[in-house]
Amino acid sequence: MYSIIGADGSEYGPVSADQLRQWIVEGRANAQTRVQVEGAAEWKLLSELGEFAPLFAAPESPMIAPAPFPVATPRRTNQMALAAMVLGVLSVTAGCCCYGLPFNVVGIICSMAALSQLSKDPGSQGKGMAIAGLVLSILSLLMAFSFSGSDLLRKLNRL
């Protein structure tokens, strides 16, 4: 037989173990409810009594592994690809007023070096910038040759 102290501070009992289990199921007693076994001098928590402790154990749920998610590592921009892009833009803009040299030649060299570096290091980015720098530098070089070729034709026609 057991006696308990309710939430209102009043003592209830003596009650049987079956009745106490019923109160636990109904929510009238919980793990923090103070209980005294008949004949004992001290009060204990209901969860401390071995026969009632399993009633307060968390229901076992199957272990579900967390869903895997990709961990994004920050990608570095290849500095040579950035330089190639800048040189390509400079060579085209400088090519409009003069021949764009040496920007187009250095831009082609930087673009090729950047593409080589990017193929060896998949963790970095900048392939698009390297290709754009290469295209712009080649375009500037072609513009320089076409302007110089037309100048040459004009000079030949004058002779």
pLDDT in the model for residue 15: 87
- Which DSSP string corresponds to 22-50? HHHHHTSS-TT-EEEETT-SS-EEGGGST
pLDDT in the model for residue 108: 94
pLDDT for residue 61 is more than 60 = no
38-47, 58-67, 78-87, 112-121: least confidently modelled range: 58-67
pLDDT in the model for residue 66: 60
